[in-house]
Amino acid sequence: MLFSEPKQPFKKNLRHAYEISDDVSQICDENLIVLLRGCSKKDRNSQKKLYQSYYSYAMGICLRYAQNKEEAQEILNDGFMKVFDKVDQYDTRKSFIGWLRKILINTAIDQYRKNFKHYHLQEIDMDKSLAINQDVISDIGYNDILTAIRKLSPAYRTIFNLHVIEGFKHEEIAEMLQISIGTSKSNLFKARENLKVILKLNDQEPYAKSI
């Protein structure tokens, strides 16, 4: 671990997984710039403050792509190492949260490629992908949906996150994962079918019908 884990509770609803902690909300633009300048100079105190302030937000993203907390921690640490290495590339006119989120997602994708580059993705010709009721994500408890997503295979979990949670199109996902659009669509379909089964087994059948 780069630094000690801060004592910050995670958001308990998946729709609000991108909300930031109270500590982060108190960092004004000016203070953030000071922190980033310190990180640019490899100042450990600045790096630690940035890491701990955005830890809860970052972990909320990483947990959805990981099989377990340990893997999520690895993604998070690798992501922050990239943040520290590329901090000079950050455009201060744009959202830091958006920049950080992009780095974390790309790091999760790199992890997927490294661990599952030989993973076979079966192609199925699908003209349409099923629609998902976004209110379901808001209603299901954070732990319930996170547990269900973790039980998906790496391919299904990654594509479900990228399409349903992040909002990427199948064309974009295909390019990211170096697969065909048809594979992206078919694996999203299978992910939803698997989630229905998992939610039913977890006594969440009303929500499973809307996935």
Domains annotated for the chain, with CATH where assigned, are 14-116 (1.10.1740.10), 134-208 (1.10.10.10)
Average pLDDT, stretch 109-120?
A: 72
81 pLDDT higher than 70: yes
pLDDT: which is higher, 146 or 36:
36
Q: Greatest CA span in the chain, whole angstroms?
A: 53
**Residue 13 DSSP code:** S
Mean pLDDT check: name the lowest of 14-23, 68-77, 87-96, 162-171: 14-23
Query: What whole-number distance in Å separates Cα of residue 64 and Cα of residue 147?
Result: 9
Q: Is 171 buried (19+), middle (13-18) or exposed (0-12) by CB count in 10 A?
A: exposed
Buried (b) or exposed (e) across 56-79, using 16+ Cβ within 10 A? bbbbbbbbbbbeeeebbbebbbbb
Of the chain, the percentage scoring pLDDT greater than 90 comes to 53
pLDDT: which is higher, 113 or 21:
113
pTM above 0.85, yes or no: no
Query: How far is the CA of 176 from the CAs of 38, 78, 85, 189, in angstroms?
Result: 32, 18, 22, 18
Query: Which of 38, 16, 12 minimizes the C-alpha distance to 27?
Result: 38
